[in-house]
A and B are shown apart, each in its own frame.
Chain A
């Protein structure tokens, strides 16, 4: 079974803090994704990566950056957290063919 893990289930941070969300997959997948999920807006793609050190912007990259130094790990970084980044963050890894597998999510609250 594909396993995607996220470093924290719940996180509380203060405005202006730098926040790291980590995602690890154990299936040697090339493509990994970060989404945020908000009520009524569904899932929105923030960034994705198709290989180590490669990244592409999704639909809402503003205020976020990512890092992919190893194939199994994809990190989402909030350079200076703001209250409008309070959300549920979901990581996914893409297997073949074309199927995304999700982690359990990180619920982030920015005060």
Chain B
């Protein structure tokens, strides 16, 4: 069965520091991969997605993620964090040719220190 693991429940970084949020998945083939962000009390906003091709994908708000097939990982990165990036981040995996169902990780909460 597919699964998604976000090993870090909570991460705190200083404003201006770099950020990497980890995501590992378990799936037999190359899945669709997504990162979403959720601000407190809000719905999920799509940050970026990977379907095929270039393994480094760019998203909104200065985020990027790299698909590494050998490590079954899709880590999210940002070179310089802003206070407004404080939120919860969810990695998700989808199966090609399915009804569009996604499997979500349990999320990583990001706090930003001034």
**Residues in chain B near residue A45, CB distance under 8 A:** 101
**Residues in chain A near residue B106, CB distance under 8 A:** 40-42
Q: Are B101 and A104 in contact (CB under 8 A)?
A: no
Report A91-111 residues with CB < 8 Å from chain B CB: 92, 94, 97-105, 107
State the CA gap A44–B92 with chains docked (Å). 12
State the CA gap A38–B47 with chains docked (Å). 21
Q: Are B43 and A42 in contact (CB under 8 A)?
A: no
* B25 on the A face (CB < 8 A): no
Q: Are B90 and A42 in contact (CB under 8 A)?
A: yes
* B51 on the A face (CB < 8 A): yes
Q: What distance in Å separates the Cβ of A86 from its nearest Cβ neighbour in chain B?
A: 15
State the CA gap A105–B44 with chains docked (Å). 9
Q: What distance in Å separates the Cβ of B106 from its nearest Cβ neighbour in chain A?
A: 4
Residues of A in contact with B, size category: 20 to 34
State the CA gap A33–B104 with chains docked (Å). 13
Q: Are A42 and B107 in contact (CB under 8 A)?
A: yes
From the candidates A41, A94, A102, A107, name the one contacting B45 in the complex (CB within 8 A): A102
Report A53-109 residues with CB < 8 Å from chain B CB: 56, 58, 90, 92, 94, 97-105, 107
List 21 A-B residue pairs with CB atoms under 8 Å apart, sorted by A's residue number. A31-B100, A41-B106, A42-B90, A42-B105, A45-B101, A50-B99, A58-B101, A90-B44, A98-B32, A98-B51, A98-B94, A99-B46, A100-B34, A100-B92, A100-B102, A102-B45, A103-B43, A104-B42, A104-B43, A105-B42, A105-B43
Interface residues of A (CB under 8 A from B): 4, 31, 33, 40-43, 45, 48, 50, 56, 58, 90, 92, 94, 97-105, 107
Among all A-B residue pairs, the 3 with the closest Cβ atoms: A94-B100, A42-B106, A102-B43
Interface residues of B (CB under 8 A from A): 32, 34, 36, 41-46, 49, 51, 90, 92, 94, 96, 98-102, 104-107
